[in-house]
Amino acid sequence: MKLAVAASVLAILPLLSLAAPAPAARQEIAHLIGYLTASGCSFQRNGSWHDAAQAAKHLQRKYDYLLKRDLVASSEDFIARAATESSLSGKPYQVRCGGNAPVASAAWLKAELAKYRSARPSR
């Protein structure tokens, strides 16, 4: 009996590893989505370019979907699971700002996350 209980606990541990994001992570994710909205950059997904507002709405929908399934515990999870590639085609997302060459959305968002964190006062 004890072995069965232990096996059951071990089976669900991977499911428990993700939880709802902490308030700081939620604030960071909201910042990243807002940053994209205000950026004026274009966002490519599945071969088509979209304006920043459309892209932000798309990422917000993906984030909401992942939240309902407890699949985002951190800002890094958000970037990896919602903002890196299409969950349908697997094609990577890209961001193009002004006349600059497109860059991977994950790198673009990680750079902004690092700036945001460094600008915040230490806790």
The pTM for the full model equals 0.82
Mean pLDDT of all residues belonging to the chain: 89
Q: Sign (positive/negative) of CA torsion 75, 99, 50, 102? A: negative
| pLDDT-derived band at 9, boundaries 50, 70, 90 | very low
At residue 122, the pLDDT reads 66
Q: Count other Cβ atoms within 10 Å, centred on residue 55.
A: 24
pLDDT of residue 1: 57
Q: Residue 15 above 60 pLDDT? A: no
Residue 59 reports pLDDT greater than 50: yes
Note the pLDDT of residue 20: 84
Check if the beta carbon of residue 95 is closer than 8 Å to that of residue 42.
Answer: yes
Determine which of 3-17, 28-42, 54-68, 72-86 has the lowest per-residue pLDDT on average.
3-17
Q: How far apart are CA 96 and CA 44, in angstroms?
A: 8
Does the pLDDT of residue 19 top 60, yes or no?
A: yes
Is the pLDDT score of 35 beyond 70? Answer: yes
| Confidence (pLDDT) at 16 | 47
